[in-house]
Structure 1
Amino acid sequence: MFHDGSIFDKSGSRLKTLSEKLHDNDDALGQHLPGLAKLFEDIVDTDTDVPREESIRRLLQVFWKSESDSTYSGTLNRYSNEEREFIKAFVEGEKPAKDICDKFELGVSLGAREELPVLEKEGDGPLNSVTEAAESLASTISEVIKGGDDVALYNDEMGKSKIATYLNEKFQNWGLTVKNIPSLTYVPSTSYGIQQIVKYAKAHNLKVRASGYRHSWSPVFGEDGQIIISTLGLYRATVLPNLESLPGSEYFVRGTELNSIDFVGQPQKGKKRFVRVGTAVTNQMFRVWCNKQELDAASSLPINVIMVEITFGGSNAPICHGAGRRHPTLSDLVHAIEYVDVNGNIQTISKDADPNFMAVASGCFGLLGIVTHITLELDPMTYAVMMPQKIPVMQAIPPPPGLDEKEIPEALRIDMTPQQRAEAQAAFERHAADDFYSEWFWFPYTSKVWVNCWNVVEDSIGSQEYPSKADVLLQLAETLAIQIIQDSDAILKLQNIFPWTQATLVSKFGLYAMPEVTDPKKAIKTPLPDALHFRRAIQNVRVRDIEVEIPLQPKVGSLKDAGPNDPIDWSFVQKAWWDAILAAYKCKDTCPQRMPLEMRITGPSNVTMAPFRGHNLGSCSIEVLTLQNMEAEWNSYAQYVLDQWMALKDKDGKYLDTRPHWAKDWVNTTVRGRPMVEYMKESYRDAIVKFRETMGQIAERQGWDLKEAQGRFSNELFDKIFFKRED
């Protein structure tokens, strides 16, 4: 039933207020949004059952049936003909998702979304002559390409792959926080192609940096007038909606050297195994590859980010992480890294040959050069046993000691006996400390937390694909609904009257979309890669996101002397969590946070520049998100939340060594009145020295110049952090 947590108070009054407004005969809003008032009434009515699939269909039908709001049809126009037919069958034909998913012509759909046409041209000379040819041919080629893009594709030395060359193609990241115009954008498919690009950059004194799906919010990319290497075709990397997550999508991605996946050696039963991946490999491609291996060879990363629309190059460079206190970062799992250096030569660094170099090389932000391949340490396949639950906020993560109950928003307060409080505290601590995977989501102003904490087993019996094909298509429909809610003129009119409208809708439907299992006999058992990527199609909803890594604190003694088995004082984590909830309620009239508060517990890291480095007991990885259209209100709100987190002190009154996630939205923030960049240079002071020294040693060993590498592969942000020495 659709009663997973009310908005703002226990009676769901804000949904009632919206319903009453839509019924107002003196206002045409109800006509603009036909059926929405009845949907709200059914949601609030505890005697009415609104299944998840019906709820998302009815919401979309509101906009389909509107005679004045064209957002539904306008949004559908972004999809191919085949995709539109699926959506219409689900929304307008009211066909169940399970009946549609197998009939959906995914191959035809993705065929319509394939990369730009391959234009054949003889040529095996150095890249500078190729580029000059591209410029002279651009006007002819652009007639072939829809949209007038200036592009040329050429055979490489072996005639087996192509390099696409785009002239003055606008660059913007996925979150729309970084925009520039490189002079050249290349889409290579081989290491050889990347070598030629770097040689061209060297010959013309240009900087060159790489990108994949462009999911970093911080300015880690290239700059105006320089070169960008896109490891994905530009249509796939930039155009929304994106269908990377749909079942079968991997069959329609052209195989290249840069998206290859291969075992290194023969997998041995019960032992770690090494897999070499190109940096253009996406999490979706890797998930499918893992699940297709024969039983003895079946392997998986123990951790990963949730999104499948991200490349391994993109997740490794900024030192991304997963969840679970026993796990380090993705970069800690790198066994070897291959890159093109400043001279255009392919170099390799591995734990076997260069163990002292890997702590820097595995998380180097692209400053060594352009990474082509990564060898990862995988575990034998295991199977997650998931029982996600929706638990009242005060029970899921209990309020920290010292928080007066009067400060807890009334909508979240529940009566709890001392025994119930103790049981809730023990359950939270057990999940946080011991579970293989541990995360919590709170959708703003709902009264429950989605708790996703689980463990794994080796036995595959009863394991099923998760989410199912039908569930994936439902998730796609849900992202469609969120996009329509952002764009709808009628919703905007409601928003102008009630500024909390959008937040109410997104939170209510967002929480409801999350799975829940209350019967252990019905636990979701699925291969580990599926459990790690339990949500699909989230690429299609742009968000803003700020995240920090807070060091876990020991109950007794100091963090410096604490060991991994020492008891943890979880009150710091509880305070960080509740500080974010209280911040949302402080701004409940405008609701700048319209996507979840998320928290994961992670383990220590040995990567030199990891924000988790030195957090001996692990970290609380906590973040707040909002929809991209909240940009005007977001910066000040995010700064306020950040201020609460950065104010945390240990038992001796010293500020915790909390650091932001490198890829998130931190660059323009401040810490206690100082620019965050200055804080980062101080927090990482010793690590920066180590990083620079090790880079110099790698350069000397492998025959390239560190100063030249800075000029070739760095950018303004990394110059400030790593190469600008203080007077």
Structure 2
Amino acid sequence: MAHTKHIFERSNDRLKTISQKLQDDHKLGHQLPGLSKLIDDIVDPDTDVPREDSVRRLLRVFWESEDDGTYSSILGRYSHVESKLIRAFVEDEEPADDIGKDFDMGVSLGAREELPVLDEESSLETVMDRVHEFFRPDEKVSPLYNDESQKVGITVYANQAFQNWGLTVKNTPSLTYVPSTSYGIQQIVKYAKVRNLKVRASGYRHSWSPVFGSDGQIIISTLGLHRASMLPNTESLPGSQFFVRGTELNSIDFVGEPRRGQKRLVRVGTAVTNQMFRRWCNEQELHKASSLPLNVIMVEITYGGSNAPICHGAGRRHPTLSDLVHTIEYVDVNGNMQTISKDNDPSFMSVASGCFGLLGIVTHITLELDPMSYAVMVPRKIPVMEAIPPPPGLADEDIPEALRIEMTPQQRAKAQATFEKQAADDFYAEWFWFPYTSKVWVNCWNVTDDGKDAEEYPSKVGVLIQWAETVAIQIIQESEAVLSLQNIFPWTQATLLSKLGLYAMPDVADPKDTIKTQLPNALHFRRAIQNVRVRDTELEIPLQPKTGSLRDAKPDDPIDWSLVQKAWWDAILAAYKYKDTCPQRMPLEMRITGSSNVTMAPFRGHTLGTCSIEVLTLQNMEAEWLPYAQYVVDKWMGLKDNQGNYLETRPHWAKEWATMTVRGRPMIEYMKESYRDAIPEFRETMGRIAKKQGWSLEEARQRFSNELFDKIFFT
């Protein structure tokens, strides 16, 4: 079959090509029964395939296949209850509305954590030493329990292999601890001091950069290892809260009484997940109801894990999560509990609130919350050229044919004005482009104090469908039959995933269908994302003034949005440059965010705000991904301001950047130069904290640093 240029560019044409191949090749068609018909229905503009039906029919393809066992293999990873729900949805074709009524049962019983009880009378000698005399250096214990470890509230593992969620970091700590109390963490640090071992912490392990521990050292997992490392994960499912035992480290409590005109303070343990906190916020009585104004999308992330590397949300009016930290409680190098707050040590907070774990092991964070508000969501699927118009200088003939649409000068001006207003002013501002699709999913919205007619979003039915979609993605990623198609058409996987991804997103064309929901629900609009491992590279690009330099800019100065448009379109053009192998198989995502006062935040100094932009792919694309991600990074790092200077663009600390280069230099060298003023400030403030609290900077390096942070802060 001839492969003309447009077949490589248009996702619908690619789908038609796959469909025709399935019809022509009896063996492939037999392996994937019903896929050709599903594709034909999806691309036919006169055929309406509801989202629920599209997911069910796709899963039935693999269930009905007599040659491809991926469906059964994937279901084998779920509990009996969960697989029963999936089978009811797929095989029995039960409506999601009916299954959703019992969806609270959809939780792996294996996720239940049996955590021991705190006994504050247990001492370092009677606990830690007696625990460790039970195993040799080469012994693997999964897990090691004894009476003393249980009294302190700790589960201990020896030589347990560690890997992060994205599988970019792997090592074997000598000891892995799962504590349930601050007291337990104190004992761990005291033991590490006696044995001269380093200690790092982890939650759901969602950092791609090497911020974790190392071989032979100690790792503290604030979550049980089943919950932290096993997939599929059920954190996002209704009912999962009933299978997590409450501990000191996952507690959530108001601090003080609300005062008029002031933010509400809430103390959370570092093992609290976004899902736990979302539920807690939504369940408060109306007069107490509060919410963070920003957050990451994933619910399967702990507050300790998202705060330490200075994570962010969306909306130019919002800083980072670390900017909202009022108090940090941590265990220092000596195993003592310490507290730093804006009330008592305001000059310390810009370092303490985003310190990468270098102060010590954080046990609790007190956050500043706003009164509960309600998101008014109007997500749209808009042609690529209209959603974020091409920047000046990008000619129509240089735009991929599949994305070109006819636009009058008036239409272009209207699209530009809409984009700029959303980016500059909307409470939440976010754009998704699924590779090779012709539309962008625009998720920009504002909030209201009026909660009338607010609904749970996504509903139980919606979560069920999102969950089923992740099952489908897992199958597409591992299916031997899809791999056979992939060997014929290298863009098969990318095309199927992009079409499924865009198809799954809501599109509110009619105002009566506007989604009003509590703010935490809107911030976490997608669930079960954890079950699909991805690779992710994100840069933070400072917004620039139309005239003059950023150094002299004021927050309300006009913004040169053309640089944002160029960054966006550079990434789209990169995907088409590599269209034969499609290394980017997950979305291009962009959020507009605010500046930050946190010393080591990549957003700091971005007076006008930040373009947070990232590219993603499936985890198993490593060989193709690394050169592709570097190519995109080169494009973004090549942006210059109106003075002809390179922008002070920096990577997100938690994303994938450590092995990359900037203009021929190792990224880590670039980081040290980019943070040339912040690094000495960070060290100086750390030194003042150390002097006040009775420890030294060198002791912190020896106990809590690692190779990456040694290079940045201590070399």
Same fold flag (TM > 0.5):
yes
The 3 A distance-change label for structure 1 pair 148 and 20 is farther
- Counterpart position of 2:241: 250
For 2:12 and 2:221, locate their aligned partners in 1 and report how far apart those are by CA, in whole Å.
47
- Counterpart position of 2:142: 149
> Matched residue of 2:407: which SS?
coil
For 1:150 and 1:371, locate their aligned partners in 2 and report how far apart those are by CA, in whole Å.
24
Residue 301 in structure 1 maps to residue 292 in structure 2: yes
- Counterpart position of 1:172: 163
The 3 A distance-change label for structure 1 pair 128 and 61 is farther
Match of 1:312 among 296, 303, 313: 303
Match of 1:712 among 682, 703, 707: 703
Amino acid aligned to 2:37: K
Deviation, 1:112, is: 3.8
For 2:390 and 2:61, locate their aligned partners in 1 and report how far apart those are by CA, in whole Å.
39
Question: Can you list the C-alpha shifts for 1:548-579, whole angstroms capped at 9, x where unaligned?
Answer: 00000001111111111111000000000000
- Counterpart position of 1:220: 211
Question: Can you list the C-alpha shifts for 1:171-197, whole angstroms capped at 9, x where unaligned?
Answer: 000000000000000000111000000
Amino acid aligned to 2:188: I
Question: Can you list the C-alpha shifts for 1:614-635, whole angstroms capped at 9, x where unaligned?
Answer: 1110100000000001111000
> Matched residue of 1:462: which SS?
coil
> Matched residue of 2:601: which SS?
coil
- Counterpart position of 2:404: 413
The 3 A distance-change label for structure 1 pair 8 and 526 is farther
Deviation, 1:253, is: 1.1
Residue 462 in structure 1 maps to residue 453 in structure 2: yes
For 1:126 and 1:678, locate their aligned partners in 2 and report how far apart those are by CA, in whole Å.
44
Deviation, 1:137, is: 5.0
Deviation, 1:129, is: 4.8
The 3 A distance-change label for structure 1 pair 567 and 620 is same
Residues 319 and 330 in structure 1, CA contact (< 8 A), matched pair in contact too:
yes
Point out where structure 1 has 5 or more consecutive residues left out of the alignment: 1-5
So what's the TM-score if we normalise by structure 2?
0.97
The 3 A distance-change label for structure 1 pair 128 and 681 is farther
Residues 56 and 90 in structure 2, CA contact (< 8 A), matched pair in contact too:
yes
- Counterpart position of 1:3: none
Trace 1:225-624 onto structure 2 (pairs within 5 A): 225-268=216-259, 271-624=262-615
Deviation, 1:405, is: 1.1
Match of 2:692 among 668, 692, 701: 701
For 1:328 and 1:514, locate their aligned partners in 2 and report how far apart those are by CA, in whole Å.
27
Amino acid aligned to 2:64: K
For 1:272 and 1:85, locate their aligned partners in 2 and report how far apart those are by CA, in whole Å.
45
- Counterpart position of 1:85: 84
- Counterpart position of 1:53: 52
> Matched residue of 2:689: which SS?
helix
For 1:339 and 1:356, locate their aligned partners in 2 and report how far apart those are by CA, in whole Å.
17
Residues 367 and 714 in structure 1, CA contact (< 8 A), matched pair in contact too:
yes
For 1:260 and 1:155, locate their aligned partners in 2 and report how far apart those are by CA, in whole Å.
24
Amino acid aligned to 1:641: V
Amino acid aligned to 2:81: E
Residue 111 in structure 1 maps to residue 102 in structure 2: no
- Counterpart position of 2:17: 17
- State the aligned residue count: 708
- Counterpart position of 2:3: none
Deviation, 1:46, is: 1.2
Deviation, 1:408, is: 0.2
> Matched residue of 2:390: which SS?
coil
Amino acid aligned to 1:527: Q
Question: Can you list the C-alpha shifts for 1:308-364, whole angstroms capped at 9, x where unaligned?
Answer: 000000000000000000000000000010000000100000011111100000000
Deviation, 1:248, is: 2.1
- Counterpart position of 1:130: 127
> Matched residue of 2:445: which SS?
strand
Deviation, 1:270, is: 5.2
For 2:299 and 2:561, locate their aligned partners in 1 and report how far apart those are by CA, in whole Å.
31
Aligned-residue sequence identity (percent) comes to: 74
Deviation, 1:131, is: 4.3
Point out where structure 2 has 5 or more consecutive residues left out of the alignment: 1-5
Deviation, 1:156, is: 7.0
- Counterpart position of 2:647: 656
Residues 141 and 158 in structure 2, CA contact (< 8 A), matched pair in contact too:
no
Amino acid aligned to 1:618: G
For 1:154 and 1:572, locate their aligned partners in 2 and report how far apart those are by CA, in whole Å.
61
Deviation, 1:60, is: 0.3
Q: State which drifts further: 686-695 or 12-21.
A: 12-21
> Matched residue of 1:297: which SS?
coil
The 3 A distance-change label for structure 1 pair 287 and 155 is farther
For 1:121 and 1:457, locate their aligned partners in 2 and report how far apart those are by CA, in whole Å.
44
For 2:462 and 2:148, locate their aligned partners in 1 and report how far apart those are by CA, in whole Å.
41
Residues 110 and 226 in structure 2, CA contact (< 8 A), matched pair in contact too:
no
> Matched residue of 2:677: which SS?
helix
> Matched residue of 1:356: which SS?
helix
Residues 171 and 179 in structure 1, CA contact (< 8 A), matched pair in contact too:
yes
> Matched residue of 1:309: which SS?
coil
For 1:326 and 1:11, locate their aligned partners in 2 and report how far apart those are by CA, in whole Å.
36
- Counterpart position of 2:667: 676
For 1:696 and 1:598, locate their aligned partners in 2 and report how far apart those are by CA, in whole Å.
38
**Aligned-pair RMSD on alpha carbons?**
1.8
Question: Can you list the C-alpha shifts for 1:110-164, whole angstroms capped at 9, x where unaligned?
Answer: 434323x56799995444653454456569xx9xxxx97242265679x5x6200
The 3 A distance-change label for structure 1 pair 154 and 334 is farther
For 1:720 and 1:7, locate their aligned partners in 2 and report how far apart those are by CA, in whole Å.
48
Residue 76 in structure 1 maps to residue 64 in structure 2: no
For 1:396 and 1:70, locate their aligned partners in 2 and report how far apart those are by CA, in whole Å.
40
Deviation, 1:521, is: 2.0
Q: Which runs of 4+ in 1 moved over 4 A?
A: 6-11, 117-125, 135-139, 153-157
Amino acid aligned to 1:113: A
> Matched residue of 1:23: which SS?
helix
Residues 123 and 156 in structure 1, CA contact (< 8 A), matched pair in contact too:
no
For 2:332 and 2:97, locate their aligned partners in 1 and report how far apart those are by CA, in whole Å.
50
Amino acid aligned to 2:91: E
Residues 115 and 154 in structure 2, CA contact (< 8 A), matched pair in contact too:
no
The 3 A distance-change label for structure 1 pair 414 and 375 is same
Question: Can you list the C-alpha shifts for 1:51-88, whole angstroms capped at 9, x where unaligned?
Answer: 10000000000000000100000000000000010000
The 3 A distance-change label for structure 1 pair 56 and 711 is same
For 1:502 and 1:131, locate their aligned partners in 2 and report how far apart those are by CA, in whole Å.
50
